[in-house]
């Protein structure tokens, strides 16, 4: 049986709770307007449904988002006494990488990425206000760096310097730098849609190509009208689910795909196919 809150999903796998964060990180539920994502309140409410000593599989595929939201979710997860195993299903960037640090063990498949960078802000103001905000960002960055620093294998290295460089890690690179990391030889579930909206400066070309390749495959299947209609057809795996199952639940599809302008178009095409199937 699956349990859902806003943009976070949980299902039981035996005695373990599998939690999926497949969207951007928001600060809180108040004043969100139409923005969608995962908030600390979502995580708090979900954790209240899981016994504190139960193991959690934390699956992340997120471009990041609000730094305070990421820190709050990190602290909520750290209070859970059961073992947490973090899986980077596609990418854990920015605030999502902070959330990942709450895991006791981190598993990254070949082809997935983790990204850390210094916090930033959009603002206007006079010189004094801008200088004050820069000092505030330095303090926030130093605090976040401490979270990463605790897991660095070589304590002579500086997590803060890696953040200032906007560092993207493959699984092998992350394993070489941070403790408690295992690399699995398998393809990531799905490259996160929405990274380009975060305006990061050094997104690896392989991440961009993975995203474009997946979308092209989906769009081609939609254009041919053969997405999961026939039992004998080769199924497509997106976010760990078969597309045939996704056709049965549009809401599940929205939770699996990261936010992007193309999601609405894809959903409209899927609905059309459903109407054709039911006709």
Active site residues: 94, 117
CB atoms within 10 A of CB 172: 11
Cα atoms in the 13 Å half-sphere on the side-chain side of 148? 27
Distance separating alpha carbons of residues 146 and 159, to the nearest angstrom: 8
Q: Which of 91, 66, 207, 74 is nearest to 151 (CA)?
A: 74
Distance separating alpha carbons of residues 134 and 163, to the nearest angstrom: 15
Distance separating alpha carbons of residues 6 and 254, to the nearest angstrom: 11
Look up tokens 């979710």; give the residue. 73
Distance separating alpha carbons of residues 208 and 206, to the nearest angstrom: 5
In sequence order, the 6+-apart residues with CB closer than 8 A to the CB of 199 are none
Phi-psi region of 47 (alpha: psi -120 to 50; beta: other; left: phi over 0): alpha
Q: Which of 65, 19, 40 is nearest to 240 (CA)?
A: 19
| Residue 141 in tokens | 């960055």
Q: Which of 110, 24, 26, 27 is nearest to 60 (CA)?
A: 24
- 3-class SS at 184? strand
């Amino acid at each position: 049986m699956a349990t859902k809150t806003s943009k976070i999903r949980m299902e039981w796998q035996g005695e373990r709770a599998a939690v999926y964060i497949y969207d951007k990180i928001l600060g809180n539920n108040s004043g969100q307007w139409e923005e969608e994502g995962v908030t600390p309140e979502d995580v708090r409410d979900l954790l209240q449904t899981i016994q504190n000593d139960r193991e959690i599989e934390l699956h992340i595929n997120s471009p990041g988002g609000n730094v305070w939201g990421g820190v709050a979710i990190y602290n909520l997860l750290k209070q859970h006494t059961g073992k947490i195993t973090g899986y980077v299903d596609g990418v854990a960037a920015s605030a999502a990488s902070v959330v990942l640090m709450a895991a006791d063990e981190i598993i990254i498949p070949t082809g997935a990425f983790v990204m850390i960078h210094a916090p930033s802000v959009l603002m206007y103001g006079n010189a004094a206000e801008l200088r004050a905000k820069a000092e505030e960002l330095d303090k926030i960055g130093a605090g976040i760096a401490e979270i990463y620093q605790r897991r660095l294998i070589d304590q002579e290295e500086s997590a803060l310097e890696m953040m200032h460089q906007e560092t993207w890690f493959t699984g092998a690179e992350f394993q070489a730098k941070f403790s408690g990391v295992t690399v699995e030889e398998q393809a990531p579930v799905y490259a996160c849609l929405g990274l380009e909206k975060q305006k990061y400066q050094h997104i690896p070309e392989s991440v961009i190509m993975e995203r474009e390749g997946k979308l092209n495959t989906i769009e081609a299947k939609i254009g041919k009208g053969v997405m999961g209609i026939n039992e004998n057809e080769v199924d497509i795996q997106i976010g760990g689910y078969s597309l045939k199952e996704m056709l049965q639940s549009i809401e599940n599809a929205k939770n699996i795909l990261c936010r992007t302008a193309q999601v609405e178009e894809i959903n409209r095409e899927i609905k059309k196919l459903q109407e054709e199937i039911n006709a």
